């Protein structure tokens, strides 16, 4: 049976790779974006995705977007909360605006979208919720108190919601990527990138497809006994017992 998947931040980078992996497994895919209309149009034309503009930090917009997607594609069975931003600064220089915006998008946005689909998943007895955290939400990172806090919150949210959904066939898991070769790293100098690679036992940056493969498994029927877990996709850079 074909499932309907919704991926936030799904028009580029990790989100796009996940959306493509889910489509390759037979899902009907919708993606959310907040800017870059040309990328959204490419997803519509080249990938065949339903691309909907939505600020995930706005609860009402999330409700409208999900309703439109479910009207076109059917109830959302798979939700990937991938949308995220950074506003880096050390805490003694961080503005309230930089703190609040990261929390609003990365953490509250996850609640806003998940709240729209959990009731339906529970009633139908099936759901896959996959939340994208970060290695920096596990270990911290200099100059990222806002981002690290938001991504650590993703993990706590995942564990709590997994307990709520398990009896109803709704699994909830997190993926904590390490340094992935995406646009987010494009501002780093070659020397800095080389320094990062030196800390990764596998010896390279990750690729979006590395994360997408993990997400595709977690979205599958075969992953029905996996819930409340955080999967580290970081090349061995940070290991937790």
For the stretch 135-144, pLDDT in tens is 999 999 999 9
- How much is the pTM? 0.96
Task: Look up residue 229 and give its two tokens.
Answer: 């877990």
> How far apart are the C-alpha atoms of 185 and 190, rounded to whole Å?
10
Q: Where are the domains of the chain?
A: 4-233
- Confidence bin at 23 (pLDDT 50/70/90): very high
Task: Look up residue 166 and give its two tokens.
Answer: 């398990």
Q: What is the pLDDT of residues 171-203, one digit of tens each?
A: 999 999 999 998 878 778 889 899 999 999 999
Give the CATH superfamily of 4-233.
NAD(P)-binding Rossmann-like Domain (3.40.50.720)
> How far apart are the C-alpha atoms of 154 and 176, rounded to whole Å?
10
Annotation says 147 is catalytic: yes
> How far apart are the C-alpha atoms of 56 and 34, rounded to whole Å?
8
Choose, from 147, 179, 217, 225, the residue flagged as catalytic: 147
What counts of helices (H) and strands (E) characterise the chain? Answer: 9, 7
């Amino acid at each position: 049976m074909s499932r309907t998947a919704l991926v936030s931040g799904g028009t580029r980078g990790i989100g796009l790779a996940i959306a493509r992996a889910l489509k390759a497994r037979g899902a009907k895919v919708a993606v959310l974006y907040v800017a870059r209309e040309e990328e959204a149009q490419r997803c519509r034309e080249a990938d065949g995705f339903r691309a909907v503009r939505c600020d995930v930090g706005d609860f009402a917009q999330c409700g409208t977007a999900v309703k439109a997607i479910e009207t076109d594609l059917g109830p959302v069975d798979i939700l990937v909360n991938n949308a995220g931003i950074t506003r880096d600064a050390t805490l003694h220089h961080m503005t309230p605006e930089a703190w609040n915006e990261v929390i609003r998008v990365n953490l509250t946005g996850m609640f806003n979208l998940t709240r729209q689909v959990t009731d339906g998943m529970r009633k139908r007895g099936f759901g896959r919720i996959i939340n994208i955290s970060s290695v920096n939400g596990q270990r911290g990172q200099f100059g990222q108190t806002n981002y690290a806090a938001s991504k650590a919150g993703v993990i706590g949210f995942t564990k709590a919601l997994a307990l709520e959904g398990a009896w109803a066939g709704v699994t909830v898991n997190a993926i904590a990527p390490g340094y992935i070769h995406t646009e987010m790293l494009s501002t780093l100098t070659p020397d800095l990138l080389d320094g990062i690679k030196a800390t990764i036992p596998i010896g390279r940056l990750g690729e979006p497809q590395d994360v997408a493969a993990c997400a595709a498994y977690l979205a599958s029927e075969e992953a029905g006994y996996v819930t409340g877990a955080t999967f580290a996709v970081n090349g061995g850079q940070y290991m937790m017992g």
